Amino acid sequence: LRAELAAVDVTCSRFRPDSELTRVNLAAGTTVTVGERFAEALEAALRSAELTGGAVDPTVGRAVIALGYDRTFASLRPDDVRPLPVFRPAPGWRSIVWNARTRRLRLPADTCLDLGSSAKALAADRAASRAAAAAGCGVVVNLGGDLAVAGTPPDGGWRIAVADDHARPEPSRCPTVAVTTGALATSGVRVRTWRRAGRTVHHIVDPLTGEPAAPVWHTATVAAATCVDANAAGTAAIVLGHAAEDWLRRTGLPARLVAPDGRVVRLGGWPPEARAPGATLAGGAR
């Protein structure tokens, strides 16, 4: 697990001057060759963009930075008095020139990739698989709302408590689901928020506008075969807003949406609310 986290950090962190992502972003407008790990993370991001019809797009980097998320979240100014930026649509994932065989990449000039959410989900998938192989037993890996399982689960599956706000969780009140295979991911706009010019903003950007997605849903939790796909669907639900219910129904994925007023929408066979003590807490972290 430590090896996977170290690898994804040095490869995909926007906040490290020595990361490969920083090198790629600085080279926007020219063609570069990337490493195998970066290529895998980019493929995951492009898959997320394709599966969501562009609702999740790795080219939102400049928009996220313009909002003030230009450093680790713990270092953000909680009340940034600078004026709001001029919002512009993201360049779009289809503008990326990528050759998977040669690992040659060209970003449009003035484009900044943000691989954050998909890379973290990929790290959860990879870490769960590697840990299960190393330990010879079932494992569950939870990376701040991105949860993947591998190996043989305990009887009845892994009990996962889904929190709408991981910063102030109440485990006894969190609905609990059992996960036996695959992954579970939660996206939300309740935790990673800050003030900018008197307006509350968050980190999930709508690629069509360059603005923070409208807070139609506080959290979206989705189950899928991989954490990369669950993460993509959950983030897309936040971006899609009122259109998320129909879109998720078409995917057939189990999902739980929570509106700002506390209304809960369950889709795709998501089970009725149940609570159980001693469950692993997941959700609301991204």
Residue with token string 């990369």? 228
Backbone dihedral angles phi then psi of residue 135, each to the nearest 5 degrees: -90, -20
Could you give the angle at the alpha carbon of 49 between the alpha carbons of 125 and 60, nearest 5°?
A: 105
**Quick one: pLDDT at residue 100?**
97
Residue environment code for 117-150, b if the CB has 16+ CB neighbours within 10 A, otherwise e: bbbbbbbbbbbbbbbbeeeeebbbbbbbbbbbbb
Handedness of CA 220, 226, 227, 231 (dihedral sign): negative
**Quick one: pLDDT at residue 57?**
97
Three-state secondary-structure class, residue 118: helix
Q: How far apart are CA 44 and CA 60, in angstroms?
A: 15
pLDDT in 10s for each residue of the chain, 286 residues: 999 999 999 999 999 999 999 999 999 999 999 999 999 999 999 999 999 999 999 999 999 888 877 767 666 667 776 788 888 999 999 999 999 999 999 999 999 999 988 999 999 999 999 999 999 999 999 998 899 999 999 999 999 998 876 566 566 678 899 999 999 999 988 767 767 777 777 789 999 999 999 999 999 999 999 999 999 999 999 999 999 999 999 999 999 999 999 999 999 999 987 665 555 656 543 4
Residues 281, 174 contacting (CB under 8 angstroms): yes
**Quick one: pLDDT at residue 48?**
97
Q: What token pair was written down for 114?
A: 């943000």
Domains and CATH numbers, the chain: 2-117 (1.10.3980.10), 139-282 (3.10.520.10)
